Amino acid sequence: MNREFRLTGVAAVGIALGTAVLLLFAPTMMNDFVEYWAAARLNLAGQNPYDPALMLELERSVGFAGDRALMMLNPPPVLTLVMPFGVLPYRPAAFLWFVLHVTALLWSCAILWDLAGGPRRLLWVAYLCGLVFVPTLFALFLGQISILLLLGLALFLRFVRDGRMIAAGAATTLLLVKPHVVYLVGAALLAWWFRSRDRRVLLGVAFGSIGFLVPLAFNPAIYAQHFEFSRVESLTHFTTSTLGALLRLAAGDSSRFGLQFVPMVLGLAYLATRLRRSRFAEWDWDREMPLLVVVSLATAAYGWVFDQVVLLVAAIPMFAVAIRAGGVQLVAMIGFWSVTGAIAFTQAFRGVNSFWYFWIPFAFLAATIMLGPILGYPNRPVGWQSSLEENCRKGTDS
C-alpha cells in the first residue's frame, strides 16, 4: 500500500465521518470551534480577536448561549491555520474543521504505525486506537485544535527518519499551536540543534514560520493585542487536567498560582538527565520522543483532556511492537488499553470535570516503565527503533 493511496483512504474516511457528524448534530453544531471561527473572522476584518466583547457578539450571532465569550487562548500564529475557516459561514466551517481533524488524526496514526514497523495489513488497529481514545473524542467533538499538534509530532518523526531535515524543521512549527503541552519536546529540539548545528532544520523552521506572518497582513496590531490580553486575562481560575492543578487543590489555596509550575521542574530534570546520558551519542528521536511527550503531559503547567491526544505518539508504537512480538507482550498491552479506556469512558459518561483526567499521562508513564522490559528494551525509554532491531524480527510484514 503506497502512501498516496493510504492518504487518500484516510481523507475519504475523514469526510465520511465528518458527514455523519454533520447529519447527527446539525441542530446544534456548537462547540469550542466557535472561538477559533470568531477569532479568525475578527482578524480577517482587522479587528481584535482577543477582545471579549467583540468575540461574544460574534459567537452569539451563530447561536452561542453563554454569558462569557469563549476566548481563543492560543498565540497569534494559530490564526494562520484558522483564518481560512473564518471566510466561511459557521456551520460549513465547523463541518470542514471536523473533517480536517479526523483526516489529520488518521494520517498521524498511519505515520506512527508505519514508523513503528506495524504490519500494514493491521493498519486499521492504529486507526481504531486513535478513534476510540477518549482524549481524541474530546478533541474531535469539542472542536479543539490539539490534533494538529499530534500531526506536527508525527510529521517531524517521519521527516527525520527520511533525512528530510528542512521538512522536519517546518513540521515543528505546528507545535506552536500549543507549545506548553509538549514543552519538553521544544526544549529538546533546541538542545538538539545546538548539538548538531544542522542549518537545514533552522531553514525549515524559518520557512514554516513565514506563514505565521499572515495574520499581520490583516491586523498589524495582533501581537500587541495578544500581549494585552495575556496581561489582563487571569488563568488562575482554570482547573486543568494537570498535576499542578492537583497541587493547588491539595494546598487548599487556589491562589497559589506558582504551584502550577512546580511539576515542570521534574520534567526539565528528566530532560537534563537524558541529554547528559546521550552526550557522546547521537540523539535518537525515534527512541526519545514517546517518553518526552508522556513526561511533558504529566508535568505541563497547563493542559486539558483533549490535549492528551498527543499520547498516541507513545500508544501506537507500543501497540505495533506488542502485535509484532505477540504473546504476553500483546496481552499486557491489550490489558492496559482496556483498563485505562474503561475508566476514561466511565468518567466521560458520568460527565466528570476535565481535571479528573489528570491521571491518564501518569498511566502511560507507568506503562512505558513496566511494559518496557516486557517488550524487550529494559532501562531505556520506550521507543520503536530499538524494538524493530531487538524484538520484532519474528513478525512478518504483509
pLDDT band at 394 (very low <50, low <70, confident <90, very high): very low
Across the chain, mean pLDDT equals: 82
Judge whether 117 and 324 are in contact, CB under 8 Å. Answer: yes
Using alpha carbons only, give the angle 365, 370, 375 rounded to the nearest 5 degrees.
110
Predicted local confidence at residue 380, as pLDDT: 38
Within 8 A by CB and 6+ apart from 227, the residues are: none
What is the average per-residue pLDDT within 56-80? 88
Q: Write the secondary structure of 60-124 as one string of H (helix), E (strand) and C (coil).
A: HCCCCCCCCCCCCCCCCCHHHHHHHHHCCCHHHHHHHHHHHHHHHHHHHHHHHHHHCCCCHHHHH
Going by pLDDT thresholds of 50, 70 and 90, the confidence category of residue 10 is low
For residue 96, is pLDDT > 90?
A: no
The count of residues in the chain is 398
Q: How confident is the model at residue 12 (pLDDT cuts 50, 70, 90)?
A: low
Residue 379 scores a pLDDT above 60:
no
Name the nearest CA neighbour of 132 among 6, 319, 375, 355.
Answer: 319
Instruction: Place 4 in a pLDDT band, splitting at 50, 70 and 90.
Output: very low
pLDDT for 88: 93
pLDDT tens track for 184-211: 999 999 888 877 777 888 888 888 888 8
Answer yes or no: are the C-beta atoms of 371 and 382 closer than 8 Å: yes
User: For residues 293 and 312, what is the distance between their CA atoms, to the nearest angstrom?
Assistant: 9
Q: What is the pLDDT of residues 231-275, one digit of tens each?
A: 777 666 667 778 877 877 777 766 666 788 889 999 999 998 888
Given a cut of 80, whether residue 283 has pLDDT beyond it is: no
Q: Give the separation between CA 142 and CA 308, rounded to whole angstroms.
A: 14
Quick one: what percent of the chain has pLDDT higher than 90?
37
Give per-residue pLDDT as tens, 286-300. 888 998 999 999 999
CB burial string 117-127: b at 16+ within 10 A, e below: bbeeebbebbb
Output the CA–CA distances (angstroms, integers) from residue 368 to 272, 321, 343, in the order listed.
19, 12, 19
pLDDT of residue 18: 66
At 7, the pLDDT band (50, 70, 90 cuts) reads low
Is the pLDDT at 352 greater than 90? The verdict is no
Q: pLDDT tier at 315 (50, 70, 90 boundaries)?
A: very high
In this prediction the pTM is: 0.87
